[in-house]
Structure 1
Amino acid sequence: HLNLHKTFCIPHGGGGPGVGPVAAKAHLAPFMPGDANKAAHEAGHGVAISASNFGSAGVLPISWA
């Protein structure tokens, strides 16, 4: 088995968790990752901050090229 997917294809997960939409019920909204560009008082009480507004979607055009 040659792990050529690491060189010639997209990463495991089809582009990573940042590519697909994230959905949650309204009662879970305070615990969703926040936006690093918002002020702390606007971001809510999320447990994490996303590193990028667009996730890792830049991986996909590389694999499509």
Structure 2
Amino acid sequence: MENNTLGKRIKEARLAKKMTQSEVVGDFITRNMLSQIESGSATPSVKTLEYLCKVLEIEPNALLP
């Protein structure tokens, strides 16, 4: 899957929960890293994806095509 698609789905999930980037990242990753993931310019690690799914209360398969 392209980074743009993954990032877009993460951003959509965050906005659906009415959360800011700062609220999502906590102490796990930086807000800047989340911004890069959402814009498609960075690829999250598996651990980061697991963390984001937990915080956003979504299943990992919701991010897959």
Classify the TM-score, shorter chain. Answer: under 0.3
Larger Rg: 1
TM-score, length-scaled by structure 2: 0.25
Q: Is the strand fraction higher in 1 or 2?
A: 1
TM-score, length-scaled by structure 1: 0.25
